């Protein structure tokens, strides 16, 4: 377990570049199993989740090596379709591998991914989609076993699930015939996956709209691909400036993918400018409250920035209301913020946040990735020192966030603790 010690109270200012997207890299790494030639990936973030995905690919027989700033994955040596229980259990998004492993080997065997801190995370839409493509699937003993020669089909998703959309896209690339996914998720990461798949010679179109069409082909080919910038990390780093009354510029970003947050920051009284891949936030001494925010699938306000916005609104002038429509229990950061002096009430999926002028340092716990990032934001605002336990959960998705904070003038000390200490 690692924990962070944060000293708050100073305005953060400066320029930082943003990492590659975790949520684009994970399905793209899963997709490498579809191509039996070397794949070079640039801008793949070095974080716990991608490192775990690489471990899983190696356990399936792939060779993986990092060369300078590129990652080379070669799945020609892949020879196993059973996903390792421990690694896949820790990495929920290993479920994306079902589609690509099943397509490559005609079989796949994976542990049932458990729930997590933000909800029970069912996979019914994934399994229904794979069954529609002629996979036979049994679920027993905590494992999912798939088999079959995949054929194209029309899949209507009951909910625009990001992961289910990606899983079905991967399963369909080498299936016999055409697959149409309706009510598909429209997130930018799905467009990035489509761009990667097309760069490998697969025939995918419509990503970014509710209808994605894949014409199955026999084989893909190797390519070199640069992963898109991480829009959630972009938003989180802009909030470092917003919550501390600072002035932060994020470079290498795609402003249009974080537009819902940029609009909120403007509503809070921040001066937001975006030009040529850079986004700058110049914050007021104290942000104004924002009446009502609700998370929605893209292009709505992203659930992955809800905890971080929650932290900002906790110190805003006035009362804000936030509704979490995507996950059923994504407010665990609220109680941790209350330990720091925040005032909020949770009524099922809605939070009533009464902004306070001050927060004080406290010992708090990162229950999940984005909730942990929210606590880091609050710690940088608070007077005194904040200790964040289980900061390794933040490190699942943020590449050296402690160094980024230091670069902007913040003080974070990272400590590793062996189990039992």
Does 397 bind ligand EPZ (CB under 6 A)? Our answer is yes
Does 367 bind ligand EPZ (CB under 6 A)? Our answer is no
Task: Evaluate whether 151 touches 133 at the Cβ level (below 8 Å).
Answer: yes
For the chain, the three-class secondary structure string (H helix, E strand, C coil) is CEEEEEECCCCCEEEEECCECHHHHHHHHHHHHHCCCCEEEECCCCCHHHHHHHHHHHHCCCEEEEECCEEEEEHHHCCCCECCHHHHHHCHHHHHHHHHHHHHHCEEEEECCCCECCECCCCHHHHHHHHHCCCEEEEECCEEEEECCCECCEEECCCCCHHHHHHHHHHHCCCECEEEEECCCCCHHHHHHHHHHHHCCCEEECCCCCEEEEECCCCCCCEEEECCECHHHHHHHHHHHHHCCCEEEEECCCHHHHHHHHHHHHHCCCEEEEECCEEEEECCCCCECCCEEEECCCCCECHHHHHHHHHHHCCCECEEEEECCCCCCCCHHHHHHHHCCCEEEEECCEEEEECCCCCECCEEECCCHHHHHHHHHHHHHCECEEEEECHHHHHHCCCCHHHHHHHCCCEEEEEECCCCC
**Interface with ligand EPZ (CB under 6 A), residue from 164, 248, 270, 340:** 164
Stretch that binds ligand EPZ, among 18-26, 35-43, 282-290, 359-367 (CB under 6 A): 18-26
**Interface with ligand EPZ (CB under 6 A), residue from 161, 254, 365, 386:** 161
Does 122 bind ligand EPZ (CB under 6 A)? Our answer is yes
Does 303 bind ligand EPZ (CB under 6 A)? Our answer is yes
Cβ at position 395, least distance to ligand EPZ in Å = 13
Q: What are phi and psi of 327, to 5 degrees?
A: -115, 150
CB nearer to ligand EPZ: give 19 or 93.
Answer: 93
**Interface with ligand EPZ (CB under 6 A), residue from 19, 21, 23, 88:** 23
Cβ at position 27, least distance to ligand EPZ in Å = 7
Cβ at position 370, least distance to ligand EPZ in Å = 5
Instruction: Let me know how long the chain is.
Output: 421
CB nearer to ligand EPZ: give 233 or 364.
Answer: 233
| Cβ atoms within 10 Å, residue 316 | 23
Residue 110: closest CA among 136, 146, 79, 77: 146
Instruction: State the catalytic residue, choosing from 44, 62, 116, 200.
Output: 116
**Interface with ligand EPZ (CB under 6 A), residue from 8, 45, 99, 163:** 163
Question: For ligand EPZ, how many residues bind (rule: CB under 6 A)?
Answer: 24
**Interface with ligand EPZ (CB under 6 A), residue from 6, 54, 57, 123:** 123
CB nearer to ligand EPZ: give 75 or 93.
Answer: 93
Stretch that binds ligand EPZ, among 19-27, 33-41, 190-198, 373-381 (CB under 6 A): 19-27
**Interface with ligand EPZ (CB under 6 A), residue from 26, 29, 102, 239:** 26
CB nearer to ligand EPZ: give 14 or 300.
Answer: 300
116 is catalytic: yes
Q: Closest-CB residue for ligand EPZ? A: 163
Contact mark string toward ligand EPZ, 314..353, x via CB under 6 A: ------------xx--------------------------
**Interface with ligand EPZ (CB under 6 A), residue from 28, 369, 373, 382:** 369
Contact mark string toward ligand EPZ, 55..94, x via CB under 6 A: --------------------------------------x-
Chain residues binding ligand EPZ by CB under 6 A are 22-23, 26, 93, 119, 121-126, 159, 161-164, 185, 303-304, 326-327, 369-370, 397
Q: Which residues are catalytic?
A: 116
């Amino acid at each position: 377990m690692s924990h962070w010690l944060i000293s708050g109270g100073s305005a953060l200012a400066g320029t930082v570049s943003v990492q590659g997207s975790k949520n684009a890299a994970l399905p793209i790494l899963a997709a490498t199993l579809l191509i039996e030639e070397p794949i070079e990936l640039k801008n793949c973030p070095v974080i716990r989740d991608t490192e775990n995905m690489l471990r899983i690919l190696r356990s399936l027989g792939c060779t993986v090596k990092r060369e300078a700033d590129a990652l080379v994955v070669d799945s020609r040596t892949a020879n196993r379709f059973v996903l390792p229980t421990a690694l896949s259990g820790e990495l929920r998004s290993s479920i994306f591998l079902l589609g690509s492993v099943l397509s490559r080997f005609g079989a796949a065997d994976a542990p049932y991914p458990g729930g997590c801190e933000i909800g029970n995370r069912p996979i019914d839409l994934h399994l229904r989609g794979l069954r529609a493509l002629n996979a036979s699937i049994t679920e027993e003993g905590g494992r999912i076993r798939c088999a079959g020669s995949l054929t194209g089909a029309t899949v209507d998703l009951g909910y625009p699930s990001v992961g289910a959309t990606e899983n079905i896209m991967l399963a369909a690339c080498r299936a016999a015939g055409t697959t149409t996914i309706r009510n598909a998720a429209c997130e930018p990461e799905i467009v990035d996956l489509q761009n990667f798949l097309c760069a490998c010679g697969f025939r995918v179109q419509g990503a970014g709209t509710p209808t994605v069409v894949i014409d199955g082909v026999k084989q893909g080919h190797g390519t070199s691909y640069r992963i898109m910038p991480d829009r959630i990390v972009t938003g989180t780093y802009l909030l470092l400036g917003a919550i501390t009354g600072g002035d932060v510029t994020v470079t290498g970003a795609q402003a249009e993918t974080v537009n819902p947050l940029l609009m909120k920051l403007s509503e809070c009284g921040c001066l937001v400018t975006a030009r040529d891949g850079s986004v700058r936030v110049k914050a007021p001494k104290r942000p104004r409250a924002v009446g009502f925010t609700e998370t929605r699938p893209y292009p709505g306000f992203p659930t992955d920035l809800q905890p971080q916005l929650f932290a900002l609104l906790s110190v805003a002038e006035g009362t804000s209301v936030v509704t979490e429509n995507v996950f059923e229990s994504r407010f665990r950061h609220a109680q941790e913020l209350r330990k720091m002096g925040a005032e909020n009430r949770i009524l099922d999926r809605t939070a009533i946040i009464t902004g306070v002028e001050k927060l004080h340092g406290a010992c708090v716990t990162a229950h999940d990735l984005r909730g942990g990032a929210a606590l880091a934001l609050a710690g940088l605002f608070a007077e005194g020192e904040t200790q964040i336990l289980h900061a390794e959960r933040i490190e699942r998705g943020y590449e050296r966030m402690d160094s980024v904070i230091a670069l902007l003038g913040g003080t974070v000390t990272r400590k590793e603790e062996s189990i039992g200490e």
